Structure 1
């Protein structure tokens, strides 16, 4: 019987399947269901700095007639923010009391400061690790790319200084030199990186002539980008890589592990197909390992990473016309 255990962020996991941050990890009942389904760890639904700011400002607007006192604005805004934090801490504490699997807290923040400091409160409540999400839409034509990169590096540096728990960064691919950024994160002693985040994107309703949210769930064909970058970087950095986006089957999990990922995050497949998909994916992984005489994941983990390939340039080639012609012939 294949041993599916692995290690991610220094955490011992019974298998490489983690529940990524989503509405499915926002309540204790659902977190218990995730554990019962066989997932090896859960990432709590991210606490969003931007949303809390919006809600806090709304609370201030609603109390405008009572804000004549000079300190009232800060009190109302602060109290609203604390309610959100307290609710998150309660969920974290309840999850740690109820679950046997690791619980990873997630912070979606726009800048360093008090939001990083909340990580200490997460640690006090028993979080096993912290996942930091940061995303900047580089829409200001006056801001150069290196300024965005410095912003990311500054945030991670501040987080690493403040956070003693295992720390991962869930990020997007939009950098002029992604490989360089991933190496520089390594220099900041981060423990892991999740490739890649799936951010909110707007769409247009052509009948109402208004903006609407685009499809947030990934499809089963969207794993290629994270697969490539996992393979390119898994032997170049000391931290663990967790693959995300488009992971719907055991075969895709196997590909990510062969590329060098230590674990994968499941999200869209759980929301689309239900938690029963976990057992199916786990079974496919175990059957493949048995059929290839692998007794444990470390026997093949990273076997097809770029540094271990006889022709490593294959992971870098961009032969799109040939690929299109081959697909048409098929």
Structure 2
């Protein structure tokens, strides 16, 4: 088990290094001049040169890359051009909201998909209706779904707040403000989880141990929950790791729709201002979260199936 953990940790660190290198290379190709974005078109050459030296843009790319990696190893993400504050401080302020939104959306998607998949297998008449509903939800863009839910549950029926976030100092109020955007994310991803859960359960129901349980007179509902659910959950766990990454990117759109001060709105501001240090820090943190999601999935796989841990 220790060797399994070490291998997965090494792969996670290598993936994070590769992602950070690709981010740095991509930002070099990003159109636009950050110096011009800050100083404007009328800036003097002397002012431009001074700002380029301050931002390190006068150095060759390889030297800037080495400096950036060195700072990352010291947990220093630099200073934001737009806000004039340390990037780590800005990310620390916005990360809890986005992470809470993603976890609520992921948990909500799973709570919707798994019972509905069990219901579809237990009652075949519901299967066609639920499959059609999930196919429809999968085809609806996330931003459109958010706007519809915003009008239905915040404007037409004012059950939940329409926008804004009061902070985690008031947990109940914070949860109320996150419910509607989390529901948007949950509905947009529940369709994929439903299809995977339904397919895995169908495959599990054809195994010999299921036929043995039925032959012993075990009730069908208990066969589904007790004997088929655990083996069918392994592919679903793999998909959950991938969905964590999709929800992080989807949170960018949802935060804009519901005016939430998370990483999504921060990323749009950084992109408009050509704030390279902030953009690099944002993408690096998102990549780290995606790697963390997949690492947790690998570890959970090893706990649920001992054969994986010693592979």
Same fold (TM over 0.5): no
Flag the structure with more relative contact order, 1 or 2, with Cα contacts below 8 A and sequence separation at least 6.
Answer: 2
Structure label with greater radius of gyration: 2
